[in-house]
Structure 1
Amino acid sequence: MRNLNVDHIWRTLGPLGKYQCKQIASYLLSLASWAFQGINIVFIGYRPDFRCKAGQNDTRMSNITGMQKEFKQCEIVSYINTSEGVLETSTPCENGWEYAAPADRSFVTEWDFVCQKAELGELTQVLYLAGMMAGTFVFPTLSDRFGRKPVMVLSHVFFFGIALGTAFSGNFVVFVIFRFLTGFFNQGLLAGTTLSLETLPAEIRHYCEVLALLFWTSFMCLVSPIAYALRDFPWKYLQLTYAMCSAWSIFQWWMTDESLRWVIANGQIDRAKEIIKNACKWNKKNYGEVMETINWGDLVDTDSKALAMTNVPESKNVENGQNVWEDKDVFIRRNSDIAHLNDGQEDSIVENGEADRDILVKQEFNLENSNGGQNVGEVREKLIKVKKYTMFDIFKHKSILLVSMIMWYVWICDSFVYFGLYMTSSDFYGDRYLNFFLSALVEYPSCFLEYMLLARIGRKWTAMIGHFIAAVGLGVATALTYTAGSSTSMFGAATAFMLVGKMGITTGYSSIYLTTPELYPTNMRNIGLGVCSFMEKVGSMIAPFSRNVSTKIKWLPPCVFAVMCLIAVLLFAFVPETNGVELPQTIEELQEWYRGNKFELRIGKNRHVIKDTEDRNLN
């Protein structure tokens, strides 16, 4: 079964009216929470230069014994002159460490996460991402079952409270627990991605992703200036400042409506009418005219939330001098956009015990002609369950699974490369605050590229071009870093190409946020995006460790990044083009679409969409 044509409703209301902007703004502003808490480890977990701290008597003992000591990062090397020569011995740092910055400037220096405990600093980010991974098993299903709004808003409120509590962590155990919970509820914000995507019709759906990238980039650009302004304060003040940027979440419930597409897909017609009425007020449209235009003028409220189709119009066609009723399929498609089930597939009748389930009414017209030449219309209502999907439905269908596996790899690749470049930005040549700011700033050209390319050449080519730019930029940066030696100019050039690669991966990464939900039916859309988000966390969890590798082998991380991006370019060629495609409603629709959209590299809209448009124009 296919639900009502929601894109037609949005076009009637005005594709990008004040109501749609208000809906999308609620999601866009929540990206500040996502950005500040997701990447704050770069500053609150910064590891400055350090070395073993000298003891109180080390200087006096050296003068008496003639022993020289060299205080390195993780050991104290002692040199003693003997008759046989210089004896060299080493001992661990017995008196702790001294840092190039005050100890309270980051949790790494406050809790001495260096040397043998260095990995504990990265573990905090891993646990944050593990929380997000755990959230992928919970929130996508909740969002598809209970709606986008409650999951997004309630998750944001809990997210704010936990981020605020993190600033008052008294020890490492409490800190990592809060980090895990922050990541867990962060995943609930992903429902906003789906909500905003479902708020615009197909022809301008890419605006959601372009705006999301624009706001995300702006918030990421603010991360470094805020950290720089608070550089002389303890890290907890910085965490508190980042957390307060989510304080507005307590008002978000009254700022946001539920997704109209989700409401209709789940048969909540009364609620859909209220949302349309609210949208009419915001967009200054006449509610009655809108309802008539979308052929809902005869929609009435009932306890069962059903469609009551009355006053069936007569056709102007005349056969043997008699008026005949319109063909039932044409009528149903015109008025409700409900398609018939596949041949041989029976409708599921709602039992008495399932009366509380959301349902739609499918009207079937049995037309007969009486002997007197009069038409007799017999209406029979049949109740149909709204199909609910789970994550396991992805594995039941080969075509869906193959496309999903490609997307899983691309999400792992993009998250690993994107966050890996942020994590290693402090190791770039130059000031760490400036490097981070520039890494965020180069995402603005990605916004421009997406705006220019997504609708013109399609989602697939935009993603492939972005990944190719990343592969080339990072590949050149690898070569320059490997051959730089002690040349500062070579390291500076390598940093520039790193930023080019950052721009490319941002374009590719951002485009898959738009493409992925378009590859799944309505009641599986958030589940499909959630599984991809789970895979994303795999790459994100590996990314923090690239910082440790970069300090030892600077050319290795960009080399790995470049190879992974090149593989993504090749794999993405097998993903169907979704540009201009109506969002699929059922698995049956999706499978039929996949069968006709195998490997192709056409630039622009999906070729089947073009063909369907031409056929309609001819008719």
Structure 2
Amino acid sequence: MKFDDVLNEIGGFGRFQKTLYIWICLPQILLAFHMFVSIFTSAVPPHLCLSTWPPPAGQEPSFNFSQVELSCSAEGSAQAYSSNSSTRAVSEGLGVGGCQGGWEYSKEIFHSTVVTEWDLVCENATLNNIGSSIYMFGLLVGAALFGTLSDKYGRRTIILVGLALQVVFGVGAAFAPTFSIYILLRFVVGTTISAVIMNAFVLGTEWTGPKHRMLAGIITDYFFGFGYILLAGVAYLIRDWRHLQLAISAPGFLFIFYIWLLPKSARWLMANQKNEEALDLIRKAALVNGNPLRDDIDLQQDHKSAKTVKNQRKHTVIDLVRTPKMRRQSLIVFYLWFVNVLVYYGLSLNISDFGINIYLTQFIFGLVEMPARTITLFTLNRSRQISQLAFLTVGGLACLLTIFIPDDLSIIRTALAMVGKFGITASLSIIYVYSAEIFPTVVRQSGIGMGSMCARAGGVIAPIIYLLKRYSPQAPMVVFGLCPLVGAALTMLLPETANKALPDTIEEVEGSIQRCVDVSFSSFNPSHTMVVRN
């Protein structure tokens, strides 16, 4: 019997699969913590340059931060302006060489951050953005590295390794003695994020029947969103960056019990000629689901599928851009992956720019992800193309409109940014399904893999975009607004795939072969894709 036939017999989403999803969803909460903790640990509180002129003996320097505005010139030097005579001495020691007397930071919101500990302001502010990009680059490296290793050693093994490395290096980051070591440890944590997210998704889909795979994938997104929301409360209670980093990392030690509870992928075992072990797992799953497997069941690989896989290996990434129509569609899809992740993280990691309480903004931005992911369940079945176009347009226009809102109307700016986040989150959920249906079977895995790489590139660039603020405060939001609108326009050049047969060959995409058969979204194998989850 084929594996999908066996799943139908034992239950494609029974008690066994539901329990499995509990195990793979719980880590999603900590993954969201690690993804967005830099919003708080790398925050830049109000700060002043201390004068080289010392304060009176025994008196600590104290300034009213609300009365002083600090800016950094394009050359990296600091300039302070004061309307209060008691703080005029602040500007002493400032010049081309930067702040000579050290920095004083407000502790009204944050007790400490990596910025306050290592003075990552003015001429050193770029290091903070670069550090965020290096972390995002870790996700790209992790997707490529652990995607390959999971095919060789199995999904369960890589999940366990990823969780172990995550907790060790996450806790280590809380005790980092220097900024460079901190960034190195965070880079490793970034690689483990991809390892766990990608393989947890694959492990779940490989145990789930075709009818429930899309819904099951959405479940993990909801837990990630819950972690996004919960982080606001944790960060509000813990204002010291080292304690916060430790608080989000140490609970990972609890996942040690996964060694005994997390099952292997029976589908992966079959693909690696371990049918006996796969059959034992399937029998256990069948008993948990209350549908005992018949004794005469014989698990065998589908020779037709094996032959198809063998034929697929003759195709390469070059085939994605070798022919005109395939090239146009591939490049558009790659851009959509890139722009969705660019704007998603661009908005998520810089919520302090919208002018209201950072903890409240984090809570709202996390909360808006829930309806954004839910609405796609209703729009996707009607039209992939229109859904993608509409949500990109909503996200882009909302971001652009924020640049026309004055600073004193911070609530309106935050509301527009929230609408932008809603549109981009929904669009990001759609592009995974849409691209899987656009690429033909012979290059589908390669296409989604390349799309994932482009998405991670967007994540790397997102923090760097905010360096444009030194030239214009509105520049980042202009970029985050225009890029999705360009993507919306390009989406009109893509075909509609809702309720359509999936193409199997490049010739079908080019129009030289016509097909009239029904095929489901589940016909592609998720085990070889480099999944981009939030």
Q: Residue 318 of structure 2 is aligned with which of 395, 404, 423? A: 395
Q: Residue 21 of structure 1 is aligned with which of 18, 21, 26? A: 18
Give 1:498's aligned residue: 417
Q: Residue 287 of structure 2 is aligned with which of 273, 281, 292? A: 281
Give 1:227's aligned residue: 235
The change in CA–CA distance for 1:89 and 1:100 in structure 2 (over 3 A counts) is: closer
Q: Residue 609 of structure 1 is aligned with which of 518, 521, 524? A: 518
Note if 1:43 corresponds to 2:40. Answer: yes
Give 1:570's aligned residue: 489
Q: Which moved more, 1:239-248 or 1:509-518?
A: 509-518
Q: Residue 157 of structure 1 is aligned with which of 164, 177, 193? A: 164
Q: Give the counterpart letter for 1:463 in structure 2.
A: Q
Deviations 1:201-222 (A, max 9, x none): 3333221332122111111001
SS of the aligned residue for 1:48 comes to: coil
Give 1:464's aligned residue: 389
The change in CA–CA distance for 1:142 and 1:578 in structure 2 (over 3 A counts) is: farther
Contact 2:167–2:253 under 8 Å retained in 1: yes
Note if 1:451 corresponds to 2:458. Answer: no
Give 1:259's aligned residue: 265
The change in CA–CA distance for 1:460 and 1:151 in structure 2 (over 3 A counts) is: farther
Give 1:101's aligned residue: 107
Matches within 5 A, 1:82-481: 91=95, 92-101=98-107, 105-189=112-196, 190-231=198-239, 234-288=240-294, 297=296, 299=298, 307=300, 338-339=303-304, 387=310, 393-397=316-320, 398=322, 403-454=329-380, 456-457=381-382, 459-478=384-403, 480-481=404-405
Q: Give the counterpart letter for 2:423 in structure 1.
A: G
Unaligned runs of 5+ in 1: 61-69, 79-87, 292-296, 301-306, 308-335, 341-359, 361-383, 600-605, 613-619
State the 1:98 CA deviation.
Answer: 0.7
Give the distance between the partners of 1:194 and 1:430, measured in 2 at CA: 39
State the 1:536 CA deviation.
Answer: 1.8
Give 2:474's aligned residue: 555
The change in CA–CA distance for 1:611 and 1:446 in structure 2 (over 3 A counts) is: closer
State the 1:174 CA deviation.
Answer: 1.6
State the 1:49 CA deviation.
Answer: 1.0
Q: Which moved more, 1:9-18 or 1:412-421?
A: 9-18
The change in CA–CA distance for 1:607 and 1:175 in structure 2 (over 3 A counts) is: farther
Contact 2:8–2:209 under 8 Å retained in 1: yes
Unaligned runs of 5+ in 2: 58-67, 72-77, 83-91, 522-534
State the 1:593 CA deviation.
Answer: 6.3
TM-score normalised per structure 2? 0.80
SS of the aligned residue for 2:304 comes to: coil
Contact 2:315–2:442 under 8 Å retained in 1: no
State the 1:416 CA deviation.
Answer: 1.0
Give the distance between the partners of 2:498 and 2:113, measured in 1 at CA: 45
SS of the aligned residue for 2:144 comes to: coil
Q: Which moved more, 1:242-251 or 1:440-449?
A: 242-251
Higher helix proportion (structure 1 or 2):
2
State the 1:77 CA deviation.
Answer: 8.1
Give the distance between the partners of 1:576 and 1:528, measured in 2 at CA: 16
Give the distance between the partners of 1:244 and 1:222, measured in 2 at CA: 16
Over the matched positions of the two proteins, sequence identity in percent amounts to 25
Contact 2:49–2:94 under 8 Å retained in 1: no
Give the distance between the partners of 1:598 and 1:500, measured in 2 at CA: 42
Q: Give the counterpart letter for 2:249 in structure 1.
A: A
TM-score normalised per structure 1? 0.70
SS of the aligned residue for 1:55 comes to: coil
State the 1:523 CA deviation.
Answer: 11
Deviations 1:100-128 (A, max 9, x none): 12886101111000111111111221111
Q: Give the counterpart letter for 2:393 in structure 1.
A: F
Matches within 5 A, 1:42-81: 42-57=39-54, 72-73=70-71, 74-75=78-79
Deviations 1:455-495 (A, max 9, x none): x32554443332222123223333x33xx3x6x34x43232
Give the distance between the partners of 1:549 and 1:165, measured in 2 at CA: 32
Q: Residue 509 of structure 1 is aligned with which of 417, 428, 431? A: 428
SS of the aligned residue for 1:98 comes to: strand
Q: Which of the pair has more CA radius of gyration? A: 1
Q: What is the root-mean-square deviation in Å for CA atoms of aligned residues?
A: 3.8
Higher strand proportion (structure 1 or 2):
1
Give the distance between the partners of 1:597 and 1:26, measured in 2 at CA: 46
Contact 1:160–1:249 under 8 Å retained in 2: no
Report runs of 4+ in structure 1 exceeding 6 Å deviation: 388-392, 518-527, 596-599
Tell me: higher relative CO, structure 1 or 2? Use CA pairs within 8 A at least 6 residues apart. Answer: 2
State the 1:513 CA deviation.
Answer: 3.9
Matches within 5 A, 1:590-609: 591=506, 594=509, 608-609=517-518
